[in-house]
Structure formats: C-alpha cells, structure tokens
Amino acid sequence: MAALIEAAAEPGFPADIVMVIANTATAGGLAIAQRSGIAALVIESKPFGKDRAGFEAKLQQALDEHRIELICLGGFMRLFTADFVQRWHGRMLNIHPSLLPSFPGLDPHGQALRAGVKISGATVHFVIPETDAGPIVMQGAVAVRDDDTPETLAARVLSVEHRIYPDALRLVSSGATQIDGDVCKSAAPATRDDVLVVPALR
C-alpha cells in the first residue's frame, strides 16, 4: 500500500489513491494513509460474523460515496462473495506472493520451499470468485536459495511486490490492459529479453 501511495504521488501517474479501507482498526496501513494525507476508513468485519453480504453492503456504500473506480487489495484476509466480485470484475486487483497459479492460499513461501522450486516471486492479478486466481496482470521473480527459509524468501519477494504492484496499477489505470477470457493482455511492450536461470552455471 505504501508503495502504491508513493508511486501515485509521482507526476503523471494515471491513478489517484483516494482512500484506504481496513476491516480492522489495528491495520498498520491506516496510519500510513493518514500521514500521507489520504482518507482512512475502518469498516469492522467482525461484527458481521458470517454475513459477508452485509459487510460488503457497508463497503460498497463507502466506495460509492468516494466514487472509487478501482480497488487494490493488499493483505485483505477476507473472502468476498461472488456477487461483489462480479460487480467489480476487471476493476479489482490483488497481489499474491507466489508465481500463480503455483502456491495459492496460505504459506506460499513454505509451499515453494517444500516443492523445491528454484524460482518464486509475486503476482498481481484481477480478482475473480476463486481465491488467488484471475487474469494475471504482472509477475516478478526471484531466485530461491538452498538456505532460504520462508522468512528470507518472503523478504526478497516483498521487494518484488513493491516494484510490480505500482507498475501493474499504472498499466491497468492507463487502459493498457485487456481481459480476454481468463487471460489479461497488455499493450505494454516488452523491454527486456532477460532469462532467469537458477542455479546459474559458470
């Protein structure tokens, strides 16, 4: 979230961060938003219990009042109903710390290490009713080291998340993406032909 706020403050960025909404008053992003001069709102989800539609109605009211056009999720650990997701189809982004469709859900770094993959990373994708799925907008990769723990891998992947989420938002908000079925296509040209091979042979 902080990376998105920082990027949006740059001249010419095609989106404005209008507000930050959290479903718990202890979310650290609220203070960051306030320091940045961005409206911060708490809509507690706990009182709604299993009434997801009730919570979403309150959320939708806030989104409508502030004329929100695009939602960027980050660390929002609450599932939306299919109706809410469909209402925001093509206008809600999420970031997940793995190279989806590999390792969705909880503990993606532990999953990656147990699978023995040599490359992991992060994915920005449009949200659909299925968890950690949807058309992929952008991905970034890091090498997995033999001595990695979930914590050390998470730290390197986090730096990738901070880089690709603002770039993905830039693409989407500038109209440079198009959803074609289950695939997101981008008008942005490829700038590199680099190939990441791990382990690298000398």
Q: Which residues are catalytic?
A: 96
Instruction: Spell out where the chain has E strands.
Output: 19-22, 39-42, 71-72, 92-96, 119-126, 136-143, 177-180, 183-186
User: How far, in Å, are 139, 165, 178 from residue 69 at the CA level?
Assistant: 23, 17, 16
Q: Which residues have C-beta within 8 Å of that of residue 138, sequence separation ≥ 6?
A: 123, 124, 164, 167, 168, 171
Q: ∠ CA(20), CA(25), CA(30), 5° rounding?
A: 35
> How are beta strands 71-72 and 92-96 bridged, if at all?
parallel
Look-up: residue for tokens 């469909």?
86
